[in-house]
Structure 1
Amino acid sequence: MKKGGVRLADQDKDKVNGPVLEEAAIDLDDLRRQFDTEARYRDLVGWQGLLVTAVAVALSLFHFYTAGFGLLLAIKQRAFHLGVVLFLVFVLYPMSNKSSRNKTPWYDFVLGAAAAYGCFYLIIHFQTLLLRSGLPTQVDVIMGFVTVGLLLEATRRVSSPVLPVIAICFLLYCYFGRSFPSLFQHRGFSVLRIVNHMYLGTEGVFGIPIEVSSTFVFMFILFGSVLEQTGMGRFIIDLAMALAGGATGGPAKVAVLSSGLMGSISGSSVANVCTTGMFTIPLMKSVGYKPYFAGAVEAVASTGGQIMPPVMGAAAFIMAQFMGVPYLQVAAAAIVPALLYYFAVLVQVHLEATRLGLKGLPRNQLPKMGPLMKARGHLLLPLFGIIYFLVAGYTPLKAAFNGILITVVVSYVNRQTMLTPKKMLIALESGAKGALGVACACATVGIIVGTATLTGLGLRIASAIVAIAHGMLLPTLLLTMVTCILLGAGLPTTANFIVTSTMAAPALFELGVPPMAAYMFVLYFGIAADLSPPVALAAYAGAGIAGDDPMKTGMTAVKLALAGFIVPYIYVFNPMLVLVDATPVAFSMAVLTACLGVFLLGMSTIGHYKVKLPLYLRGLALVGALGLLIPGTLTDVTGASIMVLIHVLQVARAKRERAR
């Protein structure tokens, strides 16, 4: 066992070369706590540790039971979920960095109990509140103030001050609306009206975001935790190594494949970097990749997990609720953009490897596919099971429930993957802990969504964006992109998506962009902040493992992700890529030209194809890439012609260089 929880089974040690084992001494817990605020919880022992374990396990069992046998009434399900979450946050997360890391002070227990009671108040007095709906009493107002205030403090502890500050600004806007400039002015609302809307109803704190958190999101996080305890993470890395480890620049391709697979389940960029990067980054360095490039590749691949179905950083479930469509439709629409993103990264990784003359790992250092699948291939069955249930028409909630049951059953195929009672306890506890940040973010963002519905702010902002862009789509997209990246610098993925989809996406709706393409657009650029300096948490985590300059790693990550982040513009102008009005022939042509465009863009950014690309050909490759990415017969033909020309010129140049 290495520090930070990285486990290497004895039979796997001979399959990983020296640099991996040497650098696995990095403390992953410290690294993750440094860049991931949700990982900064206390390590409690004694009765406090037992209490947290008991409450967390109970929360997981509650969600597992309700997913399988029926949810409570909406407000009760959401209130119970949030109440227990807030209690755990105050007990687990310290008030400041100076607070104790292994003991919870008495006042945090008091705050946790008060926050929990503020939520349970809605359950206890459900009938009474129902009868006097719209007429809150003084006690209701006090409970609302206390609960919202404690929610904001809990969110500050588990994420950052940015989201609570934004929520407070929105609450002030509700009250002082008449004092704002005419574009954003409204008549203002009383404290009673605001409390009734934000706390007692299902439009604010207990609105759609917390509904999704208390149902789909929690169950998929729990599913991921149970799967993790079977050794799924190590299996994914070994599978990627067996598939791509021997190819040109193999370790980098292993990083892309393993991080994409892992991220599709975990949905956390930093956690993904710390999990798979511990193996892949040293491997990349060992075959000749520069440390900053290795860290950047892992960061880009890990961040892409948030746009890869099924979980998509919890955004897929919220997107489905906002649009009123089945979750499966959102997941299906996300597949091609996500694959284009990863294809773009693979292209650049391959071209960089050929530029540097890097080879793959020796075959004797790689796991063999046959024995690997025989030993642990059954771990793929839960993933296939979830896909089957979704396609068969089951709800995501029921699919996740069945997926957990399948995981438990198939884990007993052999001793190595068996879910013992101890492992199940760990899975239930870690599942609940993993849901705390998402739940607090969803509840707090509910205030922002509630403000939009109460005051009509979303439509006002949309009108302002369209007016600034003079009604033109491309400038509107650019403004929306900048807004999403700036918000993403301080908000977790789920919160960022909800805010931008509420505030920025309506501007795209006004210009005729289909909802699916608009929501995907804001999601993609919301997660870009994990790669873009000065925040770039995923890139900085990768730099920490690689031992190189964080800023250089971040800038390299932006370059690697460039092709992937042009993808959102493609499907806004060509919505067929997100399955909007798609026909088989047109869809196939759109995917083909997008792939060719991404390949040309990779050539342009890396500056290599067969041999070094001259500067003028790099510029020409960029022109051709844009031609292929923009829909239209003329642009496609132009782009394809440029690609053929570059291929012919570079093949001839390569022959001349070999002849020297």
Structure 2
Amino acid sequence: MTAPDDVRLASRGGLSAAVTRPLGDLLAAGLVLIAVGWALSLQRKIGLDLYPQQFFAAMLFFTLPLAYLSLPARRGTVRSRVPWIDVALALVAMAAVGFVAVEYPRLVLMIFARPPEIWVPGLIIIALLLEALRRATGWALVLIIAVFLLYALFGDLFPGRLQGRPQSWQLLSGYMAVDSNGILGLPISVASTVVVAFILFGVLLGITGGSQFFTDAAMLAMGRFRGGSMKIAVLASGLFGSISGSAVANVVGTGVVTIPMIKRDGYPAHKAGAIEAVASTGGQLMPPVMGAAAFLMAEFLAVPYSEIVLAALVPAILYYVALFIQADLEAAKLGIRRVPASEIPRGRDVALGLHFVLAFAVLIYLLFWQRYQPERAALWAVLALCGTALLLGYKGQRPTIAALFGSIAKTGHSVLEILLISAASGIVIGVLNITGLSFNLTYALVQVGGGSAVMLLALSAIVCIILGMGLPTLGVYVLLAALVAPALIEVGIEPIAAHLYVLYFGMMSMITPPIALAAFAAASIAKAPAMATGWSAMRFGWSAYVIPVLFAFSPTLILIGGPTEIAFAVVTAGIGVWLVSSALAGYFARPLGLLQRVLFACAGLMALVPASAFPGAVLTDALGVALGAGLMLADALAARRHVAGEAAE
């Protein structure tokens, strides 16, 4: 077998891991410390007056060399030495980005003059950024960004409304590297501040035992009920996912524990993987933390993050209610019982970790009541977490000071991919701005949809899922927020509903075949067929395909409207979710026949439609609730008679 290129290169020379590993840790710690310092405005306290773009360039100064020292050219390979070519690329990246960071106040005034001192480092930064992105995420996002760059260069060759203003390569490279609408723009702004702070919080939860506490709490709460293992997966993955913000990382982090437990209880392997994938993917929708895309959404919409959280709350709850109900009904249908008592932690042991809740209380209080910036609120939560963990520990163990300091470098390695995606996403936004493509594409989508909100929502859902295939959620959201959301807003959809809509459908690419990264990761852990796991995940996650359509037409589900309207919409939606979940599981109080399943599904879908979605929708709601209540009652009475008949025999 031929050795991979990286292995052959490394064997001929390069820096050993004994040198590059501490260098990498130093770079990783450096980018986190700079982000923390900026969030605390330390630069002002020491008298430095910097442009934000100089800070973002400083983040890239650490990020790009870290990528070349830690990521092999061929993904999936392991190298014992870093080839000299990668060391050289790391140094060139530092030189180019460092020059932009130091000279930014002068360079930003000369973008359109196109001097070599702008476009030369610009070309270097773009090329090295795209190569680092390829190493981190694969070819998909790199190819999409390359298409945008080609459009910027040759936009005049496109037909009709898609025709754009062509740009010279010198102007384009300088603009992307220096302008605030390019690489040093909004996406990296959010990633460098908010995302770094929250990932630090998540890493510290793992080091201090907080993640184990939440898993134990989920097991204690759900282990004594039928199908307890599936319910543990739903609860634990939702809690962990709301912090980490990465569907695949959630699957790997919690799935190694929950999937074998679910399989051992008797669930088919593909269903065990599917429910873990759906639960982990939904973590990006679950307040209070949500995923990195939610912070970017707040910046795009220019609203407080707390407003995004409130809007996302009811849809996220309905998502997990649907998943939880299906877990319960699947357990009833398959005759699966509770988790063995020996595996359930004792309540008094779990209670010793309640101090971890304090960190979340601090976070929520500062975000919602004190209106702190998200990154500052997260840093205060980090301080509370470290304090209580050092004082009280969990299960007799306390983190060492060395471990807490080690979390800084670990966080830097964890945010590397997000920072690369964010920086590269700035290229997309830059192309949209400099060529006029954003306006042209919005106009074209509205024309294709015929000005119809229904048609445009359907087209947008398809575009979102296709663009999302194989891409990380943050990259998906940036593309969709720039390309699709403006068209939805143009036909009258509430701006926050439009952005949540594209986030939902972009995120659902994680569990939608043919490329369903979260489902496939879960399938590999479950040792189940990948496609079977993907199709099963679509069934478990059905609500995420329906609920966004509902809040697009009636924003009562995202808490926009009068209190009575909102309460009515939430209650009827909850009933609708229960009915449709029963239809999909094929079980309510007993197994359902085909006709019953169809009736349950029809009643549920009618109940799901908000009363304000269209004139007369309140009657649809009432009919759905009434029909559903009748079906539930009839099935419960039939099940009781069946049990009584068996007892009499």
TM over 0.5: yes
Give, in whole Å, the separation in 1 of the partners of 2:30 and 2:82.
20
Contact (CA 8 Å) 1:458, 1:504: kept in 2 or not? Answer: no
The code of the aligned residue for 1:390 comes to L
Task: Flag the 1:411–1:248 CA change in 2: closer, same or farther, 3 A.
Answer: same
The code of the aligned residue for 2:609 comes to I
1:650 aligns with 2:635: yes
Name the counterpart of 1:62: 34
The code of the aligned residue for 1:394 comes to Y
Using the TM superposition, give the Cα deviation of residue 414 of structure 1 relative to its aligned residue in structure 2, in angstroms: 2.9
Give, in whole Å, the separation in 2 of the partners of 1:334 and 1:588.
15
- Structure 1, gaps ≥5 residues long: 1-41
Contact (CA 8 Å) 2:15, 2:83: kept in 1 or not? Answer: no
Contact (CA 8 Å) 2:242, 2:290: kept in 1 or not? Answer: yes
1:376 aligns with 2:356: no
Q: Could you give the per-residue CA deviations for residues 346-387 of structure 1, whole angstroms, max 9, x where no partner exists?
A: 0111111111122112434311223311x2111121111111
1:480 aligns with 2:454: no
The code of the aligned residue for 1:463 comes to Y
Equivalent residue in structure 1 for 2:569, among 590, 605, 612: 590
Name the counterpart of 1:395: 373
Give, in whole Å, the separation in 1 of the partners of 2:190 and 2:22.
29
1:603 aligns with 2:556: no
State the secondary structure of the residue aligned to 1:358. coil
Task: Flag the 1:559–1:98 CA change in 2: closer, same or farther, 3 A.
Answer: closer
The code of the aligned residue for 1:160 comes to G
More divergent stretch after superposition (497-506 vs 582-591): 582-591
Contact (CA 8 Å) 1:376, 1:417: kept in 2 or not? Answer: no
Task: Flag the 1:99–1:608 CA change in 2: closer, same or farther, 3 A.
Answer: closer
Give the number of aligned pairs: 617
Q: Could you give the per-residue CA deviations for residues 90-138 of structure 1, whole angstroms, max 9, x where no partner exists?
A: 1110111486522211111111121222222122213322453532311
Contact (CA 8 Å) 2:256, 2:525: kept in 1 or not? Answer: yes
Equivalent residue in structure 2 for 1:182, among 160, 165, 176: 160
Task: Flag the 1:43–1:471 CA change in 2: closer, same or farther, 3 A.
Answer: farther
1:86 aligns with 2:71: no
- Structure 2, gaps ≥5 residues long: 1-13, 44-49, 611-616
Give, in whole Å, the separation in 2 of the partners of 1:298 and 1:539.
8
Name the counterpart of 1:11: none
Q: Could you give the per-residue CA deviations for residues 424-474 of structure 1, whole angstroms, max 9, x where no partner exists?
A: 233111110111111111111111111111222122222222222222212
Name the counterpart of 2:619: 634
Give, in whole Å, the separation in 2 of the partners of 1:524 and 1:207.
24
Give, in whole Å, the separation in 1 of the partners of 2:447 and 2:20.
55
More divergent stretch after superposition (193-202 vs 401-410): 193-202
Q: Could you give the per-residue CA deviations for residues 525-581 of structure 1, whole angstroms, max 9, x where no partner exists?
A: 11112111222121122222222222111111111001233111121112122122x
Name the counterpart of 2:95: 117
The code of the aligned residue for 1:226 comes to L
More divergent stretch after superposition (424-433 vs 510-519): 424-433
Name the counterpart of 1:539: 519
Task: Flag the 1:43–1:260 CA change in 2: closer, same or farther, 3 A.
Answer: farther
Give, in whole Å, the separation in 1 of the partners of 2:289 and 2:132.
24
Give, in whole Å, the separation in 2 of the partners of 1:222 and 1:204.
26
What CA RMSD, in Å, does the superposition of the two structures yield over aligned residues? 1.8
Percent identity of paired positions between Structure 1 and Structure 2: 36
State the secondary structure of the residue aligned to 1:385. helix
Using the TM superposition, give the Cα deviation of residue 521 of structure 1 relative to its aligned residue in structure 2, in angstroms: 0.6
Give, in whole Å, the separation in 2 of the partners of 1:281 and 1:526.
25
Equivalent residue in structure 2 for 1:490, among 453, 470, 474: 470
The code of the aligned residue for 2:626 comes to S
Q: Could you give the per-residue CA deviations for residues 172-197 of structure 1, whole angstroms, max 9, x where no partner exists?
A: 11121111101111232222332343
Task: Flag the 1:355–1:100 CA change in 2: closer, same or farther, 3 A.
Answer: closer
1:552 aligns with 2:537: no
Name the counterpart of 1:46: 18
Equivalent residue in structure 2 for 1:200, among 161, 175, 178: 178
Contact (CA 8 Å) 1:57, 1:425: kept in 2 or not? Answer: no
Name the counterpart of 1:25: none
Using the TM superposition, give the Cα deviation of residue 235 of structure 1 relative to its aligned residue in structure 2, in angstroms: 1.0
Task: Flag the 1:479–1:44 CA change in 2: closer, same or farther, 3 A.
Answer: farther
Name the counterpart of 2:304: 326
Task: Flag the 1:473–1:49 CA change in 2: closer, same or farther, 3 A.
Answer: same
Equivalent residue in structure 2 for 1:106, among 84, 96, 107: 84
Name the counterpart of 1:19: none
More divergent stretch after superposition (565-574 vs 455-464): 455-464
Q: TM-score, normalised by structure 2?
A: 0.92
The code of the aligned residue for 1:653 comes to A
Contact (CA 8 Å) 1:246, 1:360: kept in 2 or not? Answer: yes
The code of the aligned residue for 2:426 comes to G
State the secondary structure of the residue aligned to 1:225. helix
State the secondary structure of the residue aligned to 2:512. coil
Name the counterpart of 2:278: 300
Contact (CA 8 Å) 2:123, 2:174: kept in 1 or not? Answer: no
